[in-house]
Homo-oligomer: A and B are copies of this chain.
């Protein structure tokens, strides 16, 4: 029997963003190229907090069911879906649709589609609302559904689908691998994935953090160096690094000093999404070594598949806290308090 509705933990008002209410709603149409996934687990992302608290602006949908790090089973496929079968375990990340027509889509960079359909708080091209994975079911275009290597556990792979790919894409697009040195600024959910995947790619990883509090964790994750960003920290690192991934909020970053640790013509890539703008940068700092400040958004399909294969091959294990989906508010509060070590994952507890 065709699936028409889902039930999810919804936020109706950004002023009351910890008040998740179990809500039944109509799913968007299946369409020929879409897949319906029954959610088994769903990761909790910083974006979830930014969105439901209104930090990124007002809601685009009547209410918001967050969650864009879904692992589950295929329960329906559209008539033109070729890659998936009912019963197969798959993942769905922070994008569920693209236009297939813009330059980005046509060049295999669907993550930079000019009209992306996000994982939640988003509308399809026909105006239908899409809700996320703190729920029983999600639907996505086949292009944004990923087979999961058998070796990976669902709870472990979930947060890779947004948190992981967000750092994996800039790592591989900037040539990080054996013999390269990458700096990771901030050791939260994204930072911990940058260390794990940087090390899995064979690079030497240096973690920059405000204090020594997370040093043992960083080294245990595979970092070779840990640098507390106290005054003068950059002195011995001049032009040392091939890439810096900034996962911290920018407000208090020693950006000039960090930029000086990059080799000539290398990049500092922001992957966090602070609600405020970047702090000031001296153009002289940029010109001293011709470095760039950049950002990045998710990754494309081939990068996602490569990441999942690498995770299976190198046995990449995220540091996660697992809890039932009804504890979504607790998980969001932990994001707000910056107390997650290092990613939370919700398991299904809604009766279908």
Contact = CB atoms under 8 A, between A and B. Distances in A.
A296 interface: yes
A283 B114 CA distance: 17
Contacts of A27: none
A247 to B, nearest CB: 12
Given A287-B297, A290-B294, A294-B292, A277 B280 contact: yes
B292 A288 contact: no
A290 B280 CA distance: 19
A290 B283 contact: no
Contact of A281 (B104, B271, B273, B278): B278
Contact of A294 (B238, B277, B293): B293
Interface residues of A, number: 40
Given A114-B239, A264-B104, A270-B283, A288 B278 contact: no
A244 B289 CA distance: 19
A292 B289 contact: no
Interface in A266-285: 267, 270-274, 276-284
Contacts of A288: 112, 297
A128 interface: no
Contacts of A273: 283-284, 287
Nearest to A290: B296
A291 interface: yes
A277 B279 CA distance: 9
Contacts of A239: 103-104, 114
A303 interface: no
A98 to B, nearest CB: 13
B292 A283 contact: no
A159 B120 CA distance: 55
Contacts of A287: 270-271, 273, 295-297
A296 B291 CA distance: 8
A334 interface: no
A321 interface: no
A203 to B, nearest CB: 18
Interface of A: 103-104, 107, 109, 112, 114, 173, 238-239, 250, 263-265, 267, 270-274, 276-284, 286-297
Given A103-B263, A286-B294, A290-B296, 7 more contacts: A103-B239, A173-B265, A278-B282, A280-B280, A286-B293, A287-B297, A292-B292
